[in-house]
Amino acid sequence: MDKFIIEGPTPLKGTIPISGSKNAALPLMAASLLADSPTTITNVPKLRDIYTFNNVIRVTGTLVTFDEDEGTLAIDPANLAHLEAPYELVRKMRASFYMLGALLGRFGQAKVSLPGGCAWGPRPVDLHLNGMREMGADIKLEEGYVIASAPKEMEGGSFTLEPSSVGATINLVLASVLRANKFTIKNAAKEPDVVIFCKRLVEMGADIEGIGTDTLTIRAVDHLEGVTMRNAADRIETGTFMIAAAMHPESDVTLTGVDVDDLGHFPETFRKTGAELAMNGDTVHVNAPEKLQPTDIRTEIYPGFPTDLQAQWATMMTQADGISSVTDTIYYDRFSYVPEVTRLGADMEVSENTVTVEGKTPLKGASVMSTDLRASVSLVLAGMIAEGKTDVLRIYHLDRGYEDLEQKLTAVGARITRTDQEE
């Protein structure tokens, strides 16, 4: 098991390329299974979750070819015949549950294990299953598996997502585009991952109305054709590196390959810290402020502040002059990073779904333990601003969601070494 050894503090100066989005790529991979011909997806990152989902798809008989150097993924479902996604693979990543919608939508049958994924927070799949039942599918649970079947034509109907859910929106679209006469999803997720997913399905021949709004109406088409499609840039990676750049007063960082329109309200919140921010085309430039301003945030569904950036934001606030609060309205228990950052010297206190941060506190290196993807990267940010050596243990979480993280950061001045945790 690997760990990072980080020597800090170091300013960041230079250019960081933004990778393709994992959270957008995975639904596009599932969508490719609905087509009658091969699909090629470009701008795909080299991440553990991508490799895991490649293997989930291969179990069905689908040919999957990943050119890592080019970031190109080719998926040919011509021999797709095994309509099952097994526990030993699905347990590794929740997004594997998209196989339920894809297989049910394409073939009218599916056997998919209930999912696993990050250790924090209850994220039940009831919305996915109840929506498919409303659509006209027969859904049973047997020994940890979902057994689903559907007629060639389902009447469809209407289903309201309470609460709005990216995963459920995607799965219901997958299940309905080839099979439901008319199906309406109310309170549908509007995140960029959902928008690009729906747009690419339309390019394949799907009939979807209301893309980008909270009401999606899907009408079944006879078939979908494989296409060549570009994956979105990773907006969470973009936000993470913006935060990293703002934490050291001498940092000056340019991010390239950004989908600026996908950042929602995050840039205007980011400017409140005093950081200088310039966005031009697909480029974002950040100049750190001499004095970081305390800035309260509340996570919201898109285009509000992303829950996937709250750990990084709270870590940045340890370097702001004053008291700030970070409230997560999406997941109430996503604060496992707090005791670890506190080990480095932060003054942070959690009450229910809010962490209060009192800064500015000098951070000093120590050993800290990663618990999930975003908590892990917040510890890396803390280590880069801390005095001395920080060991970040169990960094396999980072390999799920950040492509070449240490290479990108060391290229702009960070001192990060990956080594075996046992050494």
Q: Which residue positions form the known binding site for UDP-N-acetyl-alpha-D-glucosamine?
A: 94, 123-127, 308, 330
| One-letter identity of residue 298 | R
Residue where the block lists tokens 């997560």: 328
DSSP 272-288: TTT-EEEEETTEEEEE-
Residue where the block lists tokens 């243990």: 393
Quick check: is 118 catalytic? yes
Report d(CA 407, CA 403) in Å as an integer.
Answer: 9
Percentages helix, strand, coil for the chain (3-state, rounded to 5) are 35, 30, 35
CB atoms within 10 A of CB 366: 16
Report d(CA 128, CA 119) in Å as an integer.
Answer: 20
Give ∠ CA 407-412-417 in degrees, rounded to 5: 40
- Which two structure tokens, joined as six digits, stand for 373? 């993807």
Q: Which of 31, 33, 102, 118 is catalytic?
A: 118
Which residues are documented as binding site?
Answer: 22-23, 94, 123-127, 308, 330
Among the listed residues 275, 268, 218, 282, the one whose alpha carbon sits nearest the alpha carbon of residue 242: 275
Which residues are documented as binding site for phosphoenolpyruvate?
Answer: 22-23
- Which two structure tokens, joined as six digits, stand for 199? 């747009």
Q: Measure the N-to-C terminal CA separation of the chain; round to a whole number of Å.
A: 10
Among the listed residues 91, 79, 94, 95, the one whose alpha carbon sits nearest the alpha carbon of residue 33: 79
Residues with a catalytic annotation lie at 118
